Amino acid sequence: MNRRGLLIILSSPSGAGKSTLAGRLRDWDDTLQFSVSSTTRPPRAGEVDGTDYNFVDVDDFQRQVADGAMLEHARVFENYYGSPKGPVETAINAGRDVLFDIDWQGAQQISTSSLSNHVLSFFLLPPSITELHRRLVSRGQDAPEVIERRMQKSWDEISHWDSYDYVLVNDDLAVTEEKLKTIITAERLRASQQPDLMDHVRTLQQEFEDR
Amino acid sequence: MNRRGLLIILSSPSGAGKSTLAGRLRDWDDTLQFSVSSTTRPPRAGEVDGTDYNFVDVDDFQRQVADGAMLEHARVFENYYGSPKGPVETAINAGRDVLFDIDWQGAQQISTSSLSNHVLSFFLLPPSITELHRRLVSRGQDAPEVIERRMQKSWDEISHWDSYDYVLVNDDLAVTEEKLKTIITAERLRASQQPDLMDHVRTLQQEFEDR
């Protein structure tokens, strides 16, 4: 029997280190597949279609939602975001874990879906609001009113922290990275993630009966 | 708010390496408290009362069960075994994890008790029945009919493998030891085990409102 992959959800307010940590997890384990979200927002400088996001128009997005082709979807500010179901199902059925960089709305939809038994969810908290603000400003890409809007959205995100399996305060990237790896390693050892155990027990039973 | 300790259950058939691994976990983390079982069976050579077991008579044992002072108890062959509740409650209320070396009957009782939310259960499988038999024989302390009875009991134990959170095939002690440590480390990071997170979120909220 094949192992079914885990759906590993990584949520956090903007600026809490999520993208950096997601990148480090991919460097650590290249079998880990990243779920590329679809979005109706325009690409930012440097963003690559199909890698950072699938950039789609509103009609296309809504058609996919209507067809049940989105595992989760949400509207954030004036844009839509969603996780296409197809690549996720292919990956987990082949035993590969999938990493989702999504917000609490998406996390909640996946955690209450038919795949809920295979979800492992993380929330990253910033060490302080000052630090969160500093990181948003230091990106240097947004106007003050955009930053303020992001701060409000960040607080909305933080307020849903307690619906996650693991919540880590990211005050040291290296420490948080180690914790993420330890937890993922452990969760992969969970009996429900080890279908080969059944074969081992059958072998033991045969051996016991044949004595 | 204080963290409440975990009830870490380690079950396995006799001869699968449970005692060795329990010892290594105690060396690794001296805050880990061992739950000393009470039993009505007579001490074996070298066993110390209060350390290996609490050796009690049948009347005393049954009185404790009647008083609700046992977290779990079971009869194995002609003897009674049980885990006294008092020391466990003291430890977990002080935030210390407690390690239980108990069989599937005890594990099931604790996993369906009011403390079930704090249980982390492991089952160790032997690499083979031949190896299990070899280990039982090599102890050199039991007659062949006793060994055969233990083998039957071992199979009974193995047949309940799938009610545990984590099931590890112990074919390499060092590897199994590492896995146990990784899993315990991860489970301690679970949000439900980190009551301090609530304080951190309250601080963030204050900071957000005071901006």
> Quick one: pLDDT at residue A168?
97
- Give the separation between CA B77 and CA B157, rounded to whole angstroms: 13
Strands A38-39 and A54-55: parallel
Give the mean pLDDT of B38-48.
95
Confidence of residue A191 (pLDDT cuts 50, 70, 90): very high
Q: Alpha-carbon distance B99 to B26, whole Å?
A: 9
**Count of pairs with CB atoms under 8 A, one residue in A, one in B:** 98
Q: Could you tell me if residue A42 is inside a domain?
A: no
B chain contacts of residue A125, beta-carbon cutoff 8 Å: 197, 200-201, 204
Helix B144-158 vs helix A196-210: crossing angle, to nearest 10? 150
* pLDDT for res B25: 96
Residue B66 identity: A
Confidence band (pLDDT; 50, 70, 90) for A151? very high
Q: Which of B200, B202, B206 would best serve as a mutation to test chain A binding (most A beta carbons within 10 A)?
A: B200
Q: What is the pLDDT of residue A57?
A: 96
Question: Side by side, which strands form the sheet with A79-84?
Answer: A54-55, A38-39, A79-84, A70-76
Task: Check which CATH number belongs to the domain holding A152 and give it.
Answer: 3.40.50.300
The pLDDT, as a whole number, for residue B107 is: 96
The Cα–Cα gap between A118 and B163 comes to 18
Residue in B126, B151, B162 nearest the CB of A191: B162
- A203 CA: distance to closest CA in chain B (Å): 8
- ipTM at complex level: 0.90
What φ, ψ does residue B57 adopt, rounded to 5°?
Answer: -90, 170
**Rounded-to-integer distance, Cα B17 and Cα B173, Å:** 8
Whether residue B63 lies inside any domain: the answer is: no
pLDDT tens figures, B174-183: 999 999 999 9
Q: Do A182 and B182 touch (CB under 8 A)?
A: yes
Of B198, B161, B25, nearest to B97 by C-alpha is B25
Full domain range(s) for residue B149:
7-34+96-210
**CB B93, CB B103: distance < 8 Å:** no
Tell me whether residue A189 is in a domain.
Answer: yes
Give how far B169 is from chain A: nearest CA, Å: 8
On the question of pLDDT at A139 being above 80, the answer is: no
pLDDT by residue (tens digit) across B152-202? 999 999 999 999 999 999 999 999 999 999 999 999 999 989 989 999 999
Is there a domain that residue B105 lies in? yes
* pLDDT tens figures, B52-83: 999 999 999 999 999 999 999 999 889 999 99
Q: Are strands A119-125 and A70-76 parallel, antiparallel or unpaired?
A: unpaired
pLDDT at A140: 75
Q: Does A62 fall in a domain?
A: no
Report yes or no on B54 lying in a domain.
Answer: no
Tell me the average pLDDT across B12-22.
90
pLDDT in tens, B129-152: 999 999 888 877 788 898 999 899
Across the interface, of A125, A169, A208, the residue whose CB is closest to B155 is A208
Number of neighbouring beta carbons within 10 Å of residue B67: 9
Average pLDDT over residues B87-106: 95
Neighbours of A208 (CB within 10 A): 18
Banded pLDDT at B97 (limits 50, 70, 90):
very high
Looking at the structure of chain B, the number of domains it has is 1
User: Between the CA of residue A130 and those of A10, A171, A177, what are the distances in Å?
Assistant: 22, 12, 22
Q: Which residue has the tokens 């049940």?
A: A68
A185 and B186 within 8 Å at the Cβ level: the answer is yes
Which two structure tokens, joined as six digits, stand for A164?
Answer: 């996650």
Give residue A1's pLDDT.
Answer: 60
Residue A142 in this model has a pLDDT that exceeds 90? no
In a domain, B60, yes or no: no
Alpha-carbon torsion, ordered A42, A48, A49, A51, to 10 deg: -130
A48 assigned to some structural domain = no
pTM for this one? 0.92
The chain A residues in contact with chain B (CB within 8 A) are 123, 125-126, 128-130, 133, 151, 155, 158, 161-162, 164-169, 179, 182-183, 185-187, 189-191, 194, 197, 200-201, 203-205, 207-208, 211
